Amino acid sequence: MNNKIYLSSPHMGGQEISFVKEAFDTNWIAPLGPNVNNFEHDLEQYTGAKYAAALSSGTSAIHLALIMLGVEAGDEVICQSFTFSASANPIAYQLATPIFIDSEPDTWNMDPHLLENAIKDRLSKGKKPKAIIPVHLYGMPAKMEAIVAIAERYGIPIIEDAAEALGASINGKAAGTFGTMGILSFNGNKIITTSGGGALISNQKEYIDQARFLATQARDAAPHYQHSQIGYNYRMSNISAGIGRGQMMVLNNHIEKRRAIYENYLKKIALLPGISFLKEPEGYRSNRWLTTILVDPEKTNGVTRETIRLALERDNIESRPLWKPMHLQPVFADSPSYLNGVSEKLFRDGLCLPSGSNMSSEEQDRVVNIIYSFFNQVVA
Ligand SMILES: *Cc1c(COP(=O)(O)O)cnc(C)c1O
């Protein structure tokens, strides 16, 4: 059996261990310490956000953002439907209702027209949504200019889910810095990892101060343990942050590698009939976290994304259908949604190809050759 090729696996740069060792040597084995402060500083420098709080996950970052925006039981929160469930779950933690919005075809992210229709419709039903959660899926920025304009027109704050998009930008402005707050994830499969972790970023200091406070059990300033609010245990550990500091040193390199993998797949398989790729709109820079293809069975002689996925699996290669939209998930069956068919088609025809920054060119060729085998052509 050939060695396993993963969709996206952790890729250490080498320095991570020295930051972790420093934490051991100085006994900072806690959810605070110099690595946490320095990692936050690195994130601020890199994204251009004024403030960052390192947290235990991207999910906890979204949860705290919703809490700080006052989302409570019975409220409505607008969320992109085409995403991972972690974008929407924290809405349910607050006993609020997610309102799902379909995607537009240029970036596969939240459709601004549907967003505005949804806001008008919710307002006409007597409820003003408390927040909007657009997502930069697979590292491709959403149409933030239009989304921000709509959000401002109706006075609704944005929580940008940039969990997959660290290093992506629109005209040089980092994904995650367009909204009131942005969130990042450092889970094991993301573009950099702390083995598990996340961050909240914002230009407004009060949100980041408040997030740090809530993330450490909401302790009031008193020598004893005094609480006037419900707190959470959501802070990042100083060990994880040490891994993060090392990963920040190789982030740009990882992005270059992932972008090169996209270009390689594009060059070799975009010519096949019925296979198409997600292009960057003018001024948009994706971090190409995962290369995604669409397979149109009407043009491939009946080959579907599932035929390709199973063939890759037989050769010990992991690939995966695109995210199943939230409006199709049984757990969110009762949530209102505003649809145009785009995300359902993406889910039906789309496949994520292995895209890890640690993939060799031989491994990329294995993927390409299997896809080629359906088209009876020889790799150029
Ligand atoms: C990974 C991910 C999250 C959640 O991040 P965790 O750190 O795993 O909690 C949220 N949204 C999207 C789009 C993600 O891909």
- Ligand 1 pocket: which of 83, 85, 108, 164 to mutate (most atoms <8 Å of CB)? 164
Give 335 Cα–ligand 1 centroid separation in angstroms. 21
Nearest partner of 160 among 131, 130, 128, judged by Cα:
131
CB count within 10 Å of CB 84 equals 18
Give 186 Cα–ligand 1 centroid separation in angstroms. 8
For residues 322 and 297, what is the distance between their CA atoms, to the nearest angstrom?
A: 16
Could you tell me if 190 and 164 are in contact, meaning their C-beta atoms sit under 8 angstroms apart? yes
For residues 215 and 229, what is the distance between their CA atoms, to the nearest angstrom?
A: 12
CA-185 nearest atom, ligand 1? 7
**Could you give the residue ranges of the DSSP H alpha helices within 48-143?**
58-68, 89-93, 112-124
What ranges make up the beta strands (E) of the chain?
51-55, 76-80, 97-101, 132-133, 159-161, 169-170, 173-174, 181-185, 198-202, 275-277, 284-285, 291-295, 320-321, 337-338, 350-353
> Do strands 97-101 and 51-55 pair parallel, antiparallel, or not at all (unpaired)?
unpaired
For residues 157 and 179, what is the distance between their CA atoms, to the nearest angstrom?
A: 7
pLDDT value for 380: 46
Give 25 Cα–ligand 1 centroid separation in angstroms. 32
Give 84 Cα–ligand 1 centroid separation in angstroms. 7
Of all protein residues, the one whose alpha carbon is nearest to atom 2 of ligand 1 is: 163
Could you tell me if 285 and 107 are in contact, meaning their C-beta atoms sit under 8 angstroms apart? no
CB-based pocket (< 6 A), ligand 1: 57-59, 83-84, 86-87, 135, 161, 163-164, 185, 187, 198
pLDDT value for 95: 98
CA-59 nearest atom, ligand 1? 9
Secondary structure letter of residue 4 according to DSSP: P
Give 127 Cα–ligand 1 centroid separation in angstroms. 28
pLDDT value for 307: 95
- Ligand 1 pocket: which of 64, 107, 185 to mutate (most atoms <8 Å of CB)? 185
For residues 148 and 132, what is the distance between their CA atoms, to the nearest angstrom?
A: 10
Model's pTM, two decimal places? 0.97
Q: Phi then psi for 254, rounded to 5 degrees?
A: -60, -40
Two structure tokens written together for 40: 């936050």
For residues 134 and 380, what is the distance between their CA atoms, to the nearest angstrom?
A: 40
For tokens 């949530």, the residue is: 335
CA-189 nearest atom, ligand 1? 1
Give 187 Cα–ligand 1 centroid separation in angstroms. 7
Identity of the amino acid at 191: I
100 - beta bridge partners?
A: 79, 337
Task: Please report the domains of the chain, with CATH numbers, ordered by start residue.
Answer: 16-248 (3.40.640.10), 252-379 (3.90.1150.10)
The stretches in the chain having pLDDT less than 70 are 377-380
123 - beta bridge partners?
A: none
Of all protein residues, the one whose alpha carbon is nearest to atom 5 of ligand 1 is: 58
For 300, the 3-state DSSP assignment is coil
CB count within 10 Å of CB 167 equals 25
pLDDT value for 377: 56
Burial 206-228 (b: 16+ CB within 10 A, else e): ebbebbbbbbeeeeeeeeeeeee
For residues 157 and 257, what is the distance between their CA atoms, to the nearest angstrom?
A: 34
